[in-house]
Amino acid sequence: MIPQPEPTPPPTPHPPQPFFDYTDLFFFIGLCVPCLLFATLLVRTTAIFIHTPPPAMLLLIQGIWYFLAFGSIAALFRIRYRQPFWRALGWRSLSFPSSLGALLAGPLLALALGMLGAALHTPEIDLPFQQMLGSTGTIILLGILVVILGPVAEELAFRGFLMPLLVRSLGAAGGIVVTGFLFGSIHGYEYEWSWRHMLLISLVGCAFGWAKYKTQSTAAAAFMHCTFNLTQFAAFLWQARTL
């Protein structure tokens, strides 16, 4: 009797991407406000006893806020899904050409945004951090916040967490655009709710989203975001004659 070959086991199904869902997103959003309030209270209470300049306070508040909010998400991913935080939010290594391209795309995007803003007759609005420009130490602290800490945190939240869910629900184009316009909306308060500024920042958010989708790495969007902010920060310093 000829032995029958053993049946091939069915392939192990891959978990859906992303593996997290909107419940986890709402959990993260719900954490943001209390984490920010706690960070603000902690830093301002400490400042009563230890003199802390406003830029340092701002950097500490943002740093503690991000640590608490993202730390909670990291714990959630580990406990509920047994997944690492950075990989879960799409932070994957890039090739050297991709990294260089993302870094160079930031200044080019800032230049294009400036020209489009001029064409739209976008009004000049002083940003909150511009009131703090002063000493070299202040500029360094604000630079860390504006150029590194803020962009990385925002890309983890928007392109790492929110966009994959929206892409799964709306398709690639819909997910990128909706995420971009939500990104522009949360920056409205910085620009006195000027629709022109919000439109421009939304378009920038779409560009960051395209970089994430094209490379499948949140790192690409973060690199692009960092050099975009660096270009704008340097322009503000030049205008203030601090460079």
- In this prediction, residue 16 has a pLDDT band, given cuts at 50, 70 and 90, of low
CB 52 within 8 A of CB 60: yes
Q: Which residue has the higher pLDDT, 6 or 62?
A: 62
Give the rounded percent of residues in the chain with a pLDDT score beyond 90: 74
Count of CB atoms within 10 A of residue 158's CB? Answer: 23
CB 175 within 8 A of CB 212: no
The reported pLDDT for the residue numbered 13 is 47
- Structure confidence by residue, pLDDT tens digits, 64-118: 999 999 999 999 999 999 999 999 999 999 999 999 999 999 999 999 999 999 9
- Structure confidence by residue, pLDDT tens digits, 129-162: 666 676 788 888 889 999 999 999 999 999 999 9
Q: How far apart are CA 212 and CA 95, in angstroms?
A: 14
